[in-house]
Structure 1
């Protein structure tokens, strides 16, 4: 098993960036070795090696990437960094790691919640819980969701944290969709252990199941793919059902956070127009976008 302890040779320090806003090329030269070092580090792990790590070691490895994603870089510098040829060449491996980390880490969390005598307390002690809470509060502010609204979430994953918090904070009734049988099984168990099975329904399937549910709004997970197919089906279903004025929300990655996952493109949401964007602050990863069908 490989050591996941932080290598201080590659540690980013705040003083490295003093005055760097006037010299983006210099900033790129500072940041590039850290990104390349992380890519080299995660290249030592295949999926089985990541699964073999304990939850704490897995999380510490994730924090190295998380620090890179939350560097204080403006849009121009972030674009310059992520478009640098060597960095661009390792982005697929970094983004694949990020997806794998969450699929493994959420299963660890699901196991802890199901085994816990106090699952709500266990959920709130989860290190990423404060981020999910801020993200969902941003979603509530963006949408001004009414209690009793019904939301369908495409790509809910093994722990449907967003649905849990939308119900807990705003009384939203939810349906979570996921194409993975394992994710659906875990998600149902998590919802049950939290006592929310009457408020949150978990269903296996993709966005085409929206034809079968009653819903007021749709949320597309940041990791739900392929986006082009999802939005094309959403457009067709909304037209069929006369929901042409209904809001669709999706999560994406902007700025340096795009190191984590490919951002949603204009081509992928063809047929929709963006009506509002809520950019993240602090350690929240996702930008929230509200969209409607083109008139």
Structure 2
């Protein structure tokens, strides 16, 4: 029996190259797009541009398997990072799920269910037991008790009657009440709390800020060093092919990519915030999480907050 290797088949080399190019395109289109957008925004030296430069350089010197492999591994890492971040965000959103789905507005002789954003100050709304207060309002009719724990941390319900202020995000417990809206949803207590949650990732810790500043100098230095490796040694080692030093420069670019440095620290903080939210603790940002490492005393008020 005659055994033929893959390379012995007619057209095998062409099929192999096409497969590598397709693999590179599938794995790297997000990276290449990010590199183009980064360059257009003035960020010449980020992890996307480094990976794009190194992989395209490898393709240019005929190292197609290396180019496709590098891009595939980098893309898998990016996917795992995105998955971890989205999981943490989902935990935070679940913890602060105080956004009302609708508002029951009294208009004319009927009550309409509309989006909270469509309700104007001065309009009357009705809130039945078990429903969230959709907008900051004043109680106009009826008496009830409100669960305010989502906003204040207070575990005991608060009695509400005519003239009292009911904030968006509170939950009506006992009886139906009529409320008059005092401010639009964008300025409501629930909207402000959700905005604080969304801004949590922008409150960077001191370590994150240092890494960001460090990468601004580190990455251009790596690119300059790789260029020097590709250009200078051939003049002092004329016996070696120029492509050898190009290959070594590309290897230097790949292994020096600051992805682990730039990504791991922010991702660690974000995962910590997400982990805390799964246990019912809201951390407003990485800077506050970092401060906890220096805390030796915690004081609780009567609500446990």
Instruction: Give TM class, smaller chain.
Output: under 0.3
Larger Rg: 2
Q: So what's the TM-score if we normalise by structure 1?
A: 0.20
